[in-house]
Structure 1
Amino acid sequence: MRQDIVFDMETGDPDDALTLCLLATHPAVVLRAVTVTPGTRAQVGMVRHLLARAGRSEVPVGARNPESEKESLSAFHTKWLGALAPAAPDALAHEVLAATLQQYPETTLVTGAPLQNLRLLLEQHPEARLRRWVAQGGFAGDNLVAPEHRLAKFEGKRTCPTFNFNGDPKGALLALSSERVERRELVSKNVTHGVAYDEAFHERVRPHHTRTAGLALVFEAMEHYLKAKPEGKLLHDPIAACAAIDPGIVTWAEVEMYRARGEWGAEPAHGTQTFISVALDRERFFHTFVGDAPGLDTGAVSPA
């Protein structure tokens, strides 16, 4: 059985759009909804365009603030896709989340954005329960990560700023402590900074890229991106999405999260139902990314 997933995204970074395309048609996923922050009409128009090209126009789209005038689309999106018509969302993001969870109670929420939409769900819908939240965010330091798995840029650190959590610290702390979030799996920057979609990765994807419409869109997007930036793009959100699909791509540690001086850290703990990534199986990640890993058509089980 495929997994029901909702993707909560922003569009300041290209990898959210890549993740949207990946999830839209992944063989192990049924994408049930997309929520956007802040959710301008330009952002919603881009999301609807990609969903249509992936053959998933029926997927509802929610926005936190569709009247926002903030310039929220990165230049990459318009260079890749050209000028797109703005569009209205189906409803406010927290309403889309609540309705989706009511209809599909086993849904996994994958967040690749600051956590306003999740915070508003918890604040405004006291009946809502989230079985599983997979977040791109958080940080696991040297107290958790074995020396052989540490990235040089984070060597010696126990805490670090993390964009998605610092974009709404109140929302992050609420989601990390709420009993209505039954399981939390944090795919942290000590792992997501370790894999780039570069020319070599692109060539590995090439034989697979027509497998699904969504993967073809990812490949098309990166054809454009790599012409300007051949060093590639770190795969923050796609790694989190793949960990939602197959938790076995990551080694997890159960932790208690904390925030100090604007930075986030984690301490080993038991009974928190909060897990953080401490290592990544890059080969298993790649095969999950392209949708050819064994067993993907039967779904995946969360870490114990």
Structure 2
Amino acid sequence: MGTKLIIDTDPGVDDAFAIALAARSADVELLGLTTVYGNVPLEATTRNAQRLLALFGRKDVPVAAGAERPLVYPFPKPRDYAVHGEDGLGGSEGLPDPLRDIEPVDAVTMMVQLLEASDEPVTIAPIGPLTNIALLLAAHPGIREKIARLVIMGGAVAGGNISSAAEFNIWADPEAARRVLVEESVPTVLVPMDLTHRCAVDAPWLDSLAASGPVGAGLNALTTDYRAYYRTILGSEGMVMHDAVAVAEAISPGILQTQSWPIDVDCGFGPARGATIVDRRTPEAPDGGGRPPIPPTVDVAVDTDLDGLRTFVHDRIAGV
């Protein structure tokens, strides 16, 4: 088997495409989905994950519910935030009912069980707020050696979406994000919205996916509200599939080009709360009289073959 993968998610339309990419890839052993609050409350994200797995025919994949709020402060989600529709998956009426009950353990416990049971390190793809991952690493420090790497969708180098400085997933729980991105030593790839926006797909791409079969049609049916939102952002018909870009890297290491940079997360209460501060300065040589080199901590995705990435996601989901 290929990549062993756990996805931590808050579905979410782009999460749906990301989960489909993993669930439909023959070289991925999808060990489980863990859910977190985010695009909608935890109860909805969990049911969305269950129903998506039913659409993909993956009764074998367990789902465990995780954090329902951030680590420290209340979740400040704006009341008018409905990018993904009221239930997180606009148009989800056509999704099948769950094929499997939620696991009787919480998300962190299930991740520990899956990691300990694996005979090789497992990739974790967190594509929602990082609360579950921060709890996992804080409560179970010895589990780090069982994690191959984290491939995180989140953050922004040059400006955010939920605020002028911050991207939604990091802004939702900056304290958790700082724990994961700054204080831990697990190999990490951060896939920021600067790159995911460039990977936007257009109407013909979505139409082609919809024509590929029941899974593609089912996914396309979820995009009405999401596409309406991105019509105002992109100025054309299409959408940004943020989370699927990160899962593509989790499945196919190197499909994204990265730069290693030190990162911090603003946990203050000003307008930059939740911002990912990426230090892109070139360190000077120690004997050059300048500042000493700063060890890089996170591999930040900066580029990809855009058409190749879109084809990879399309063909995997379509079963080509």
Give the TM bin, normalised by the shorter chain. Answer: 0.7 to 0.9
Q: 1:61 aligns with which of 63, 87, 91?
A: 63
The one-letter amino acid of 1:197's match is V
1:274 matched to 2:281? The reply is: no
Tell me what 2:110 maps to: 96
Distance 2:43 2:191 in 1: 29
Instruction: Indicate the residue corresponding to 1:140 in structure 2.
Output: 157
1:242 corresponds to which residue?
248
Residues in 2 aligned to 1:179 and 1:83: alpha-carbon distance in whole angstroms: 38
Map of 2:276 onto structure 1: 264
Higher-Rg member (1/2): 2
SS at the partner of 2:50? helix
Residue equivalent to 2:261: 255
Identity %: 24
Gaps of 5+ in 1: 142-152, 211-215, 293-304
Unaligned runs of 5+ in 2: 70-74, 232-236, 267-271, 284-293
Counterparts in 2 of 1:219 and 1:160: CA distance versus 1, 3 Å? farther
Matches of 1:17 and 1:160 in 2, distance apart? 26
The aligned residue for residue 185 of structure 1 is 189
Structure 1 residue 139 displacement after superposition: 2.2
Q: Which moved more, 1:270-279 or 1:122-131?
A: 270-279
- 1:220 equivalent to 2:218? Answer yes
Q: Relative to structure 2, which stretch is displaced further, 109-118 or 230-239? A: 230-239
Root-mean-square deviation (CA), in Å? Answer: 3.2
**Structure 1 partner of 2:143:** 128
Q: In 1, Cα distance between the equivalents of 2:6 and 2:29?
A: 9
CA distance in 2, matches of 1:291, 1:222: 15
CA contact (8 A) 1:64 1:94 kept: yes
SS at match of 1:58: coil
Among 69, 75, 93, the residue aligned to 1:81: 93
Change (3 A) 1:27 1:160: farther
Aligned-pair distance for 1:232?
A: 2.3
Distance in 2 between the 1:172 and 1:276 partners? 15
Amino acid at match of 1:27: A
Q: CA deviation at 1:57?
A: 1.0
Letter in 2 for 1:193: H
Shift of 1:85: 6.1
Shift of 1:120: 1.0
* 1:52-87 residue CA offsets vs partner (Å, 9 max, x unmatched): 2322112111112579xx999843626233587685
| CA distance 1:124–1:244, shift in 2 (3 Å) | same
1:42, 1:84 within 8 Å by CA — same for their partners in 2?
no
- Measured in 1, the distance between the counterparts of 2:174 and 2:241 equals 23
